[in-house]
Amino acid sequence: MPGWIDTHCHLDAPEFDADRDRVRERAAQAGVRHLVIPAVARAHWDAVVQLARRHGDSYALGIHPLYTPQAREEDIAQLRHMLEQLRDDPHLVAVGEIGLDFFVPGLDAGRQAWFYEQQIALAREFGLPVILHVRKSSDHLLKVLRARPVAGGIAHAFNGSAQQAGAFVDLGFKLGFGGAVTYDRALKLRELAATLALESLVLETDAPDIPPHWLYATAGQRAAGQPQGRNTPAELPRIAAVIAQLRGLTPQALAEATGSNARAALRGLPALG
Ligand SMILES: [Zn+2]
């Protein structure tokens, strides 16, 4: 087996404070050889850099749309400064996680758009790909990317239409699939995961978010005392097995294809081999 790459894992999240190194170790034991850790806010940037270096993983630096309410305009200047300082760091693979979220209520759309556009400008300045958060926002994200193209990247946890998928692919993006495809009722998403051109697909857990169905506890189960299972990067091979089955591929063939797709999408990911 060539090993798996988790292209989107928030290993710096507080959910992993108690056992972060153990979580990374269990992922390695499960065959997950490389993680991409996207930052969500300025307060996380240093930690993400150190964490990725410690385990030989990769990181992206950016401001996530859900963190724009507390972000400050000067964070953009600081991001630029860090990208300049770290431009030769082989562990730096993208600007991210950036994007727009038109699903979560109460976010200022104009403010989100400002941070998104500023970070697209930085990605262009430094020639870096981007890791995109796309939630009910494909068309707006695409409009900005068409006007100001970047060096590709990943539309993570993709859940749009086949047409929107094609538009991201045309702009040089790969699409990230993870725990959401493990739910039988996710018919449209499973259809897309089964039919999308293989060279456009990358794998992710988004841990600790988006638990696969075997970790998910319904509201009723939680009320009865069953805790929500914590998603970790070690779930990637099992999520991948679902996608491999949907596509009629062996896990090995899927690992090889998605690994080379991830290397094509992000600069400088190591070859596993
Ligand atoms: Zn994320």
In angstroms, the CA 143 to CA 198 distance is 25
pLDDT in the model for residue 40: 98
Residues lying with their CB under 5 A of ligand 1, a single-atom ion: 97
Q: How far is the CA of 272 from the centre of ligand 1 (A)?
A: 23
The per-residue pLDDT for range 87-143, each reduced to its tens digit, is 999 999 999 999 999 999 999 999 999 999 999 999 999 999 999 999 999 999 999
Mean pLDDT of 36-54: 97
Are the beta carbons of 193 and 201 closer than 8 angstroms?
yes
Q: Phi-psi category of 127—alpha, beta or left, where left has phi over 0 and alpha has psi -120 to 50? A: left
Distance 198 CA to ligand 1 centre (A): 22
15 close to 230: Cβ distance less than 8 angstroms: yes
User: Which pLDDT tens digit goes with each residue over 189-226?
Assistant: 999 999 999 999 999 999 998 899 999 888 888 888 88
Q: Please report which confidence band the pLDDT of residue 273 belongs to, taking 50, 70 and 90 as the band edges.
A: low
* Verdict on whether the full-model pTM lies above 0.85: yes
